[in-house]
Amino acid sequence: MSTTWAAYRRARRQSRQAWVLVILIIAGGFAGIGWFFTNGQFAVGQDPVNGPTEAPVFDPKWMKPVEAVQPVPVGSAVDALEALPVKGRAAKDNYDRNEFGQAWLDVDRNGCDTRNDILRRDLTAAEFTAGSKCRIASGELREPYIGQDIHFRRGSESSSAVQIDHVVALGDAWQKGAQQLTAKQRQSLANDPLNLIAVDGPANVKKGASDAASWLPANKGFRCHYVARQVSVKAAYRLWVTQAEKDAMRRVLDSCPGQRTIRAT
């Protein structure tokens, strides 16, 4: 059986096209796997969440500034991220929460402890306990991490429904530069309103000491603010990021190129 030159060339062309299609399918598969192990693992199984896109930082009417190591840079969050040092994690076996001072100190000297300051800042319709100008008894929270409304009521069995999250977890900070800070600077980091947000208790527990490479809020609309706030805190306290953390932060910020750093004033 003979084959014409035209038929031979047509067969060759079809063979090359088939191989190109196979290569594109394989490449797409690898890209999908890469997406899953970066941002995809946070998105799979999550329903769309509509919630706040940002959280309060500072209320000058009754809060006083906390002195950081250096000012948060003004401008693009991406530029601030690029300026952060990239290093590996330091040891964590010597981590102790007490290295950041007693929990919820009145670092800004406004007469109220930090936890109640943040509850007052973040809750709407906040009410004080009888006879106090500091202790928050109840209020409503438009929660940023899960995007749901939560009623806060002070009590031994109810207070934990709303917790105060360190945006840059203290355990993460300890492994990325906080060991080189002074005791006073670590107290500031733990009590700086820039690094604190009132959030859903279970979501805060789930986050633990995770960085952006291993945990992001379920409320996707809040992620740009959240990552920009982490970048801003790390810049203010001269902390570093790991390469995986930087890559995860950059992926989030690429979706909001106009995102600026977060500042107290």
Q: Is 165 helix (H, G, I), strand (E, B) or coil?
A: strand
Q: Please determine, for residue 191, whether its predicted confidence score (pLDDT) is greater than 50.
A: yes
Q: Please determine, for residue 67, whether its predicted confidence score (pLDDT) is greater than 80.
A: yes
Evaluated on CA atoms 208, 138, 118, 217, the torsion sign reads: positive
Where does the pLDDT of residue 92 fall: very low under 50, low under 70, confident under 90, or very high at 90 and above?
confident
110-124 average pLDDT score: 97
Where does the pLDDT of residue 17 fall: very low under 50, low under 70, confident under 90, or very high at 90 and above?
low
Q: Which positions ≥6 away from 168 have C-beta within 8 Å?
A: 189, 195, 230, 233, 234, 237, 239
pLDDT tens, position by position, 230-247: 999 999 999 999 999 999
Q: Please determine, for residue 197, whether its predicted confidence score (pLDDT) is greater than 60.
A: yes
How many H helices and E strands in the chain?
9, 5
Q: Please determine, for residue 18, whether its predicted confidence score (pLDDT) is greater than 80.
A: no
| Per-residue model confidence (pLDDT) at position 35 | 47
On average, the pLDDT of the chain sits at: 88
Asked whether the beta carbons of 39 and 248 are under 8 A apart, the reply is: yes
Q: Pairing mode, if any, of strands 162-166 and 196-200?
A: antiparallel
Residue 227: which H helix or E strand, with range? Answer: helix 223-236
pTM for this model (two decimals):
0.82
Instruction: Single out the residue of 59, 70, 56 nearest to residue 188, CA to CA.
Output: 70
Higher-scoring residue by pLDDT: 124, 4: 124
47-66 average pLDDT score: 88
Burial call 7-43: b when 16+ CB within 10 Å, e when fewer: eeeeeeeeeeeeeeeeeeeeeeeeeeeeeeeebeebe
How far apart, in whole angstroms, are the C-alpha atoms of residue 169 and residue 164?
11
How far apart, in whole angstroms, are the C-alpha atoms of residue 112 and residue 173?
25
